C-alpha cells in the first residue's frame, strides 16, 4: 500500500493565524462596528472569504461565477469572471501567496496568482467526473511546495492535488466509507509519521471524518446531537464546528474522543462556519442573521461526553492516483468603487456567549475568517462582504469620501 509523505504545516488562513491569537474576549455588551461592502455584481451569493492582508480580502461569488477582492483602504471591489460554469465555493491562501479555490460545477482546483497579469489562473481537473469539489485546505509538501486537500461532495471522496508531483501534477483520491455522506469542510490537522491527518465534515450523516495519509485509514466520529456539520477547523489539537441545521457549536478532541457541545442563545441559528481565537471562537448564524462568540471557559457545555463503540469507526481505504493536465487561463479584472455602510451594533451577552445582529436583515452570514482584531465574513443572501471590529479598534475601516 502506497504511503504519502507530507508535513503538517497547515497554512489555511495564513494572514489571520499569526496575529489573531491575541484578540481580546468581547465584553458583555461591547459595541462592535460592522462595515459592509455590496458586491458590484448583484445577487452574487458570496460564500467564503480569505484575508490576504489587513486591508484586502478575497471571496467567492458562487452564483455569478466570479472571484472578488475587496480593498478596505480604497473601498474598491475587484472581480474576475471565471471560465464558464465554474461555480466557485471554498477559497484559501497558499504559502506562495496564491488564491486557491474549489470550482464545484467546473470540477477543478483553481490556483490564481494575484501578481501575474496574464495566465493568472491555473486549472487542475479532478479525475472523477462530476465529483463536485467543494472545500479545500493547503499545506507545504516535503518538497516545500503547496499542495491541496479537498472534498468531493458528489463523488463522496477526499482528494489531494500535488501540482509538483514527480512526472507532473497528480490527484490522489480516497473513497469515504459512509455512503452519500456529502463531505464538505476540510481542515488539515497534525502529522502521523510521514503522513498527514486531514479532517472533514460529512454533511448528510452528522459525522466528522479524518483521513490519515500515512495509514490510508479513515476515522469517522458520529455526532448524534447535530444534523448537518458543514464546516470545521482543526486548531491546537481540537476540531471546532457548528451545526448548519440547529444552534449547536462544538469541539471534538480526536485523540481522547471527547465531545463538548454548546447551544447558542438564538433558536434555530443555523451555524455554517466558525473562526477560532485561542480556545474560543466566533461563528456565523445563517438563519439568525448574527455573528456570535463563545468564551468556552465562561459557559458550561450543554453536553460533554466520550464517544465510543459504534460512534468511532476506523476503515482502511486504498487510494488511487491519477495524472492531470494543468490549463492556464487569462482573467480580466474589473474594479468598482463601493461605498460601504457602517453600523455600530451592541452585543447581547448570555453567559459565555455574545451575539451581534448583522445590520442587513436576512443576509445569511456564511463563511467567517479574520485578521488582526477584525472578523471578516460573507453575507450569502445579502451579496455583501463585511468586517466586524470592536468600535474602539484602531484598524476600524472608514468610509471613502463621497464620489471616490
Are residues 146 and 98 in contact, defined by beta-carbon separation less than 8 angstroms?
yes
**Residue 404 placed within a domain:** no
Task: Look at residue 179 in the predicted model and tell me its pLDDT.
Answer: 98
What's the domain count of the chain? 1
Which CATH number does the domain housing residue 152 bear? 2.130.10.10
Positions in the chain whose pLDDT score sits under 50 = 1-22, 394-404
Q: Is residue 395 part of a domain?
A: no
DSSP of 183-209: EEEEEEEEEETTEEEEEEEEGGGTEEE
- Which residue range is the domain that position 186 belongs to? 14-390
**Residues paired with residue 371 on neighbouring β-strands, in sequence order:** 374
Structure confidence at residue 326 (pLDDT): 98
Nine-digit cell at 57? 480580502
Grid look-up 439568525 returns 288
- 85 and 103 in contact (C-beta within 8 Å)? no
397: in domain: no
Report the pLDDT value the prediction gives residue 399, as an integer from 0 to 100.
37
53 near 31, Cβ under 8 Å?
Answer: no
Q: Is residue 396 part of a domain?
A: no
Q: Which residues contact 305 (CB under 8 A, 6 or more apart)?
A: 258, 259
237 domain residue, yes or no: yes
pLDDT on residue 9: 37
What pLDDT is recorded for position 96?
Answer: 96
Q: What is the pLDDT of residue 393?
A: 58
The answer to whether the beta carbons of residues 31 and 390 sit under 8 Å apart is: yes
Long-range contacts of 394-402 (CB under 8 A, 24+ apart): 395/54, 396/33, 396/35, 397/35, 397/72, 397/340, 397/342, 398/342, 399/75, 399/339, 399/340, 399/342, 400/74, 400/75, 400/337, 400/339, 400/340, 402/339
Q: Which pLDDT belongs to residue 16? A: 36
Query: Residue 5 domain-assigned?
Result: no
Over the range 178-195, which residues count as b (16 or more CB within 10 Å of their CB) and which as e?
Answer: beebbbbbbbbbebbeeb
For residue 213, report the phi and psi dihedrals to the nearest 5 degrees: -80, -10
Is residue 223, in this structure, part of any structural domain at all? yes
Q: Is the separation of the CB atoms in 137 and 149 below 8 Å?
A: yes
User: In angstroms, rounded to a whole number, what is the distance separating the alpha carbons of residues 260 and 248?
Assistant: 10
Q: Would the pTM count as exceeding 0.85? A: yes
For residue range 86-125, list pLDDT tens digits in order: 999 999 999 999 999 999 999 999 999 999 999 999 999 9
Asked whether residue 7 is assigned to any structural domain, the reply reads no
Contacts of residue 30, Cβ cutoff 8 Å, sequence gap at least 6: 346, 347, 354, 390, 391
At 5 the pLDDT is: 34
Q: What is the pLDDT of residue 23?
A: 55
pLDDT tens-digit profile of 289-331? 999 999 999 999 999 999 999 999 999 999 999 999 999 999 9
Contact between 99 and 59 under an 8 Å Cβ cutoff? The reply is no
Q: Are 259 and 295 in contact (CB under 8 A)?
A: no
Amino acid at each position: 500500500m502506497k504511503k504519502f509523505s507530507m508535513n503538517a504545516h497547515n497554512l489555511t488562513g495564513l494572514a489571520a493565524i499569526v496575529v489573531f491569537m491575541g484578540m481580546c474576549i468581547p465584553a458583555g455588551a461591547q459595541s462592535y462596528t460592522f462595515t459592509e461592502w455590496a458586491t458590484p455584481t448583484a445577487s452574487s451569493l458570496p460564500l467564503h472569504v480569505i484575508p490576504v492582508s489587513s486591508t484586502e480580502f478575497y471571496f467567492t461569488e458562487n452564483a455569478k461565477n466570479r472571484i472578488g477582492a475587496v480593498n478596505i483602504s480604497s473601498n474598491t471591489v475587484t472581480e474576475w469572471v471565471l471560465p464558464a460554469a465554474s461555480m466557485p465555493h471554498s477559497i484559501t491562501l497558499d504559502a506562495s501567496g496564491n488564491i486557491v479555490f474549489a470550482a464545484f460545477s467546473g470540477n477543478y482546483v483553481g490556483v490564481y496568482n494575484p501578481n501575474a497579469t496574464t495566465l493568472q489562473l491555473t486549472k487542475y481537473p479532478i479525475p472523477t467526473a462530476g465529483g463536485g469539489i467543494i472545500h479545500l485546505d493547503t499545506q507545504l509538501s516535503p518538497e516545500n511546495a503547496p499542495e491541496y486537500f479537498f472534498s468531493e461532495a458528489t463523488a463522496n471522496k477526499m482528494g489531494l492535488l500535488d501540482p509538483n508531483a514527480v512526472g507532473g501534477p497528480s490527484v490522489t483520491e480516497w473513497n469515504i466509507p459512509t455512503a452519500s455522506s456529502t463531505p464538505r469542510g476540510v481542515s488539515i490537522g497534525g502529522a502521523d509519521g510521514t503522513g498527514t491527518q486531514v479532517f472533514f465534515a460529512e454533511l448528510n450523516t452528522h459525522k466528522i471524518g479524518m483521513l490519515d495519509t500515512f495509514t490510508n485509514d479513515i476515522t469517522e466520529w458520529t455526532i448524534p446531537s447535530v444534523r448537518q456539520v458543514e464546516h470545521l477547523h482543526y486548531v491546537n489539537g481540537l476540531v471546532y464546528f457548528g451545526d448548519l441545521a440547529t444552534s449547536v457549536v462544538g469541539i471534538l478532541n480526536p485523540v481522547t474522543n471527547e465531545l463538548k457541545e454548546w447551544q447558542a442563545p438564538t433558536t434555530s441559528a443555523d451555524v455554517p462556519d466558525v473562526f477560532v481565537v485561542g480556545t474560543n471562537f466566533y461563528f456565523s448564524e445563517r438563519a439568525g442573521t448574527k455573528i456570535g462568540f463563545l468564551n468556552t471557559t465562561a459557559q458550561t457545555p450543554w453536553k460533554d461526553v466520550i464517544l465510543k463503540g459504534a460512534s468511532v469507526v476506523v476503515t482502511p481505504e486504498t487510494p488511487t492516483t491519477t495524472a492531470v493536465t494543468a490549463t492556464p487561463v487569462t482573467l480580466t479584472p474589473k474594479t468598482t468603487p463601493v461605498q460601504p455602510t457602517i453600523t455600530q451594533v451592541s452585543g447581547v451577552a448570555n453567559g459565555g456567549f455574545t451575539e451581534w445582529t448583522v445590520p442587513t436583515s436576512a443576509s445569511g452570514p456564511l463563511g467567517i475568517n479574520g485578521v488582526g482584531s477584525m472578523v471578516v465574513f460573507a453575507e450569502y443572501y445579502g451579496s455583501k462582504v463585511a468586517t466586524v471590529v470592536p468600535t474602539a479598534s484602531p484598524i476600524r475601516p472608514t468610509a471613502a469620501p463621497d464620489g471616490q
